[in-house]
Amino acid sequence: MDIKQLHYFIAVSEQMNFSKAAERLHISQPSLSNAIKKLEQEIGSPLLERNTRNLQLTEAGELLFERAKVIVKNMEVLKIEMNEVIVHGTRDITIGVMESIKHWLPKVIANYKKDYPQMKFHLVDILGSKRVKKSLKSYKTHVIITNQLMDDPELEVQTLYEERLVAVLPLHHPLAQKDTITISDICEEPFIISTEGFQTRRDILTSFEQAGKSINIQFEIERFETAVSLVREHLGVTILPENYLQGPTAKTIVKKEIEGVNLNRHVYLVYLKNRHLPLAIRQLLKDILQFF
């Protein structure tokens, strides 16, 4: 029994059709049939019940199907990890990021590059909890910095810091003259909010609910940059992480603290618990944690 045979058997088990499985595997149907027969001979038991209408897994076939998927997945993971250690281990790192970390991550990387100048960084936007989990579990990213709280036994989640959410208004907006504002002040304003699946959206909706106010959603966005652009054009107001509003952005809008609600969010460092990470990448994780 080898990995190729297991790949073949998984394809047949998922398609329950030799022709479709052969097409998926890019081999001839007779070659696939012979490979499965050989596998059954090696195991000493039928794996498939064949009749003129369809295929069905035997009890032995069901057991092998479940175990084979795990074995094949582990082999794919091993190839990725060995490739990182042998070929890319001291050169490449892929980090999932969100917009509000732009004020501190470059500082960490600049300091890190003094000791690891050969490292090449791939910074990719990973937004929403489903995308975070999928990206890590498919080995697309080594680590993700997110405000999505991950409740998953396969993931290691470490809290980095807490940041305040503030109201964002157009320049010269009537509320801009107030020192602080309330949910009541902005409940009738056209509101710009993140799409479904974002923790910031849930936090904002909860704050409106707790204040007993409805929210006038006019725009749903994925990127804070888009929200700020809409505010700048006097199309509405929004609530964003205060850290995102540092630098040049702060000069183009007005930000206000919101009274009476605890609008904060946590930022987390997330990675797979059982993934092997090369030494150079583990050092970067330590540097990020030590920064806070």
Q: How much is the pLDDT for 280?
A: 85
The alpha carbons of the chain give a radius of gyration, in whole angstroms, of: 26
Closest residue by Cα to residue 60 from 69, 48, 70, 71 = 48
pLDDT at position 52: 58
Q: What is the reported pLDDT for 87?
A: 54
Three-state secondary structure of the chain = CCHHHHHHHHHHHHHCCHHHHHHHHCCCHHHHHHHHHHHHHHHCCCCEEECCCCEEECHHHHHHHHHHHHHHHHHHHHHHHHHHHHHHCCCEEEEEECHHHCCCHHHHHHHHCCCCCCCEEEEEECCCHHHHHHHHHCCCCCEEEECCCCCCCCEEEEEEEEEEEEEEECCCCHHHHCCEECHHHHCCCCEEEECCCCHHHHHHHHHHHHCCCCCCEEEEECCHHHHHHHHHCCCCEEEEEHHHHCHHHHHCCEEEEECCCCCEEEEEEEEECCCCCCHHHHHHHHHHHHHC
Residues 6+ apart with CB under 8 A from 217: 191, 193
Give 37's strand partners.
none
Contact 141, 124 (CB under 8 A): yes
- pLDDT per position as a tens digit, 14-42: 988 888 889 899 999 888 988 899 898 88
The per-residue pLDDT for 128 is 75
Position of tokens 């019940």?
A: 49
Token pair belonging to 188: 């009738």
- Domains by residue range for the chain, with CATH: 3-87 (1.10.10.10), 90-160+267-291 (3.40.190.10), 164-264 (3.40.190.10)
124, 169, 116, 174: which is closest to 146 by C-alpha? 124
> pLDDT tens track of the chain, all 292 residues?
888 888 899 999 998 888 888 989 999 988 898 889 989 888 888 899 877 567 888 899 899 999 988 888 878 877 776 776 655 555 789 999 988 898 899 999 999 999 888 888 999 988 777 889 999 998 899 999 998 888 899 999 999 999 999 999 999 899 988 988 999 999 999 999 999 888 889 999 999 999 999 999 999 998 899 999 999 999 999 999 998 888 787 788 999 999 988 888 899 999 999 888 888 888 999 999 999 8
As given in the structure block, the two tokens for residue 157 are 């989640």
- Tokens 């069901």, residue located: 62
Measure the N-to-C terminal CA separation of the chain; round to a whole number of Å: 50
147 Cβ neighbours under 8 A, 6+ residues apart:
98, 100, 199, 200, 241, 265, 266, 267, 268
